Amino acid sequence: MNPLFIRILEILLVPYVHKETIWAIAPLIFALIMLQMYFGKYKTEQLGWNTAFGNTISLMWVTAILLKYLRDSYGLLNAWQTSGLKGYFVIIIGLGLLTLILAIFNFNHLIPKKFAFLISSSLPTNGLAYFIIVIVIGKIPLDRLTFWATLIIFIFLAIVFGLYRKSITPLKSELPTIKKHEEEKEKLIKKIKRKIKYFFNKKIKESPIKFFKKGF
């Protein structure tokens, strides 16, 4: 059997093997599904700075839970000094630092809004929390195989939840706004296509040698 497929199964089956993870994972999954349902129902609503800030802050309790797990199971000092556990300790600390940095950025609006709302939405934050919980408690090896396995699972979930949101019927009151957004999106796509067509027709076809000498 393919090693990557086996690693994917290992990550997904951690809650079944390690029942103690369910107490931390179940609320994450419930919150993720409900938020996807909400934004599927209210398609014109956008994530706000306050929600983005709240989502990042919620990762702090995941950090606390995992630090408590290491302390109760091995002792924090022992976990840091043991080569087989040090990587997991570093990941937990990294999660805490990332949470703090994102919280500061979102609190002070220091990064572009669209980017902030993207990385602080429910799927990235809850997904990150899930992966770190199962990797640490399930003692999933910290290698390249785990990286690709988590990436594949995340992409799969993003596609599934994207289709799930689209399948939900929006409120009738939102239909005019949705139609307006779709029309604006179509206009933007047409504008980009015209610019690309102009670029190739005028800049490349007329003088390709001169174009490439200028370095695009």
Which ranges constitute the DSSP H helices of 109-207? 113-119, 122-137, 144-167, 175-198
Q: What is the pLDDT of residues 112-131, one digit of tens each?
A: 888 888 888 888 888 899 99
Q: What is the pLDDT of residues 48-99, one digit of tens each?
A: 788 888 888 888 888 998 988 888 888 888 878 888 888 889 999 999 999 9
Tokens found for residue 185 = 């999106």
SS3 44: coil
Is residue 152 scored above 90 in pLDDT? yes
Single pTM value for the model: 0.73
Which residue type, as a one-letter code, is found at position 145?
A: L
Which residue type, as a one-letter code, is found at position 1?
A: M
